[in-house]
Amino acid sequence: MMSDTNNDLTMTCKDCNLECQRFGKHRNGLRRFRCPNCKRTYTEPHTKTLDAMNIPWDKALLAVRMLLEGNSIRSTERISELNRNTIMRVLVLAGEKAEKASEAMIQNVPVHDVQCDEIWSFIAKKEKQVKAGDDPTFGDAYCFTGIERNTKLILAWHLGRRTKRDTEAFTEKLNAATAGNFQITTDGFAAYRDAVSLSLGTRVDFAQLIKVYASSQEETRYSPAEVVSTEVVPVIGNPNPEKICTSHVERQNLTMRMQIRRFTRLTNAFSKKWENHYAALALYFAYYNFVRIHQTLRVTPAMEAGLTDHVWTLGELLGKIGR
């Protein structure tokens, strides 16, 4: 590397106590300096991206934006020119930041009409392919989500199995996120009955919307079954029949399939690690609530719910203001 002859001297050699000269740039773009006497080189102070990494903030932000817009890890690698392991590390750190921001903001939110559903995905391999010696996180993974119908705010989510235990964990999160009395609608999954009663039973009107699907003799492996009828089952209180609906949360499931590459069906972009899958969901939900403007609302769900007074930037969400 050739020495920079510019006389802009901004650092002092610790050994010689002499001012150093510019000496090119570090691989991450930061300026380097070299002592004219001992030839020792220095790099200007590093600013930790996401409090843990040395990559430039603009590149980290680009990688996060691409992941949020449905790009895979490898396509993000090709465009951002960051190593795929670095991108996954950025994803995990960004997910942690986003989850903390969501937990701090979404507490005791007044709600009126909540819809809940769970969406299927898998880690490493599908459940029927899991063997005895495999990692216990491999197989089916269900993301439970609860959305407020009017504000479109994602109140709570939980990643786990489609079991009674995980359903109760989800309803406990929903209980902490909401305030007041409200109506709640779920699909026909039986575990919701006990879970909602246990966590929310004293302040909700609860109904289940059970869909009846037609059995077909034709090949329907990659197409949804036809819904031939629906059955409304009141469970707790007196739910308003006009508000018993799961259409909004099911539309949210479609948005997840479109925006999170790991949820895209029939591709090889599925998650290989539970940690990365969890981080992708945490990042997506925070971005959806605070940064992305909802088309029908013309503001973010958090603004519509009165939690914020402006559209957050992605940098603001990740705690990077002013850097």
CB 212 within 8 A of CB 228: yes
The reply to whether 28 and 151 lie within a common domain is: no
Residue 16 DSSP symbol: T
Closest CA to 80 of 93, 97, 63: 63
Distance CA 206, CA 226 (A): 26
The reply to whether 159 and 240 lie within a common domain is: yes
Residue 6 belongs to a domain: yes
Residue 65 belongs to a domain: no
Query: Which domain, by its residues, includes 268?
Result: 85-317
| pLDDT category of residue 6 using cuts at 50, 70 and 90 | very low
Residue 237 has pLDDT above 50, yes or no: yes
Residue 61 belongs to a domain: no
The reply to whether 180 and 286 lie within a common domain is: yes
HSE, side-chain direction, 13 A CA sphere, residue 184: 31
Looking at residue 7, its pLDDT comes to 44
Looking at residue 305, its pLDDT comes to 97
CB atoms within 10 A of CB 133: 5
Cα 70 to Cα 2, 29, 64, 125, 170: the distances in Å are: 42, 28, 10, 21, 26
The reply to whether 163 and 232 lie within a common domain is: yes
Phi, psi of 76 (to 5 degrees): -65, -40
Residue 263 belongs to a domain: yes
Residue 70 belongs to a domain: no
Closest CA to 230 of 182, 183, 185, 200: 185
Residue 80 belongs to a domain: no
Amino acid at 168: E
Looking at residue 322, its pLDDT comes to 39
The reply to whether 164 and 293 lie within a common domain is: yes
The reply to whether 288 and 167 lie within a common domain is: yes
In the chain, the number of structural domains is: 2
The reply to whether 171 and 293 lie within a common domain is: yes
Residue 55 belongs to a domain: no
Q: What percent of the chain has pLDDT over 70?
A: 93
The reply to whether 153 and 40 lie within a common domain is: no
The reply to whether 238 and 310 lie within a common domain is: yes
Give residue-wise pLDDT tens across range 147-161.
999 999 999 999 999
β-bridge mates for residue 42, sequence order: 33
